Amino acid sequence: MDVQGEVLQTGAPAWYGDLLREVDDRTRHLQAEVAELRTELAAARAELGEDVAAVQTEVEGVRRAVNARPVDSGDEDGDLRLDMVEGFAAVRAELAHEFGSVRSEMLDLGIKLDRLLNRDGCR
């Protein structure tokens, strides 16, 4: 027997049943919202992975182009390529750091969602 039926059989006021129905409705609504958030989180993770892979491909292409010719002393193009290499190395390090931060935050969000579901007895 469900909790609502037990409450009503014990002679509790009728509004207890209404309250239990409302709690049940809200719980189901929260479960649906959490499922939707999980879906959006998974999609965001996949999209972020694709974006990072595309950026890495672009960086590799630029790196190959920059490293195509050796740098000679006094060569303006060589100096420019060297500056580009240093700039891209800095950008790549920053992107890696940002990706790590976003990944960490997404994992934290997933853990928090799991804790909320377990705490509220939604599973």
Q: Give residue 1's pLDDT.
A: 47
DSSP the chain: --HHHHHHHTT--HHHHHHHHHHHHHHHHHHHHHHHHHHHHHHHHHHHHHHHHHHHHHHHHHHHHHTTSPPPTT-HHHHHHHHHHHHHHHHHHHHHHHHHHHHHHHHHHHHHHHHHHHHTT--
Q: Give residue 71's pLDDT.
A: 53
Q: Give residue 116's pLDDT.
A: 82
Spans of the chain below 50 pLDDT: 1
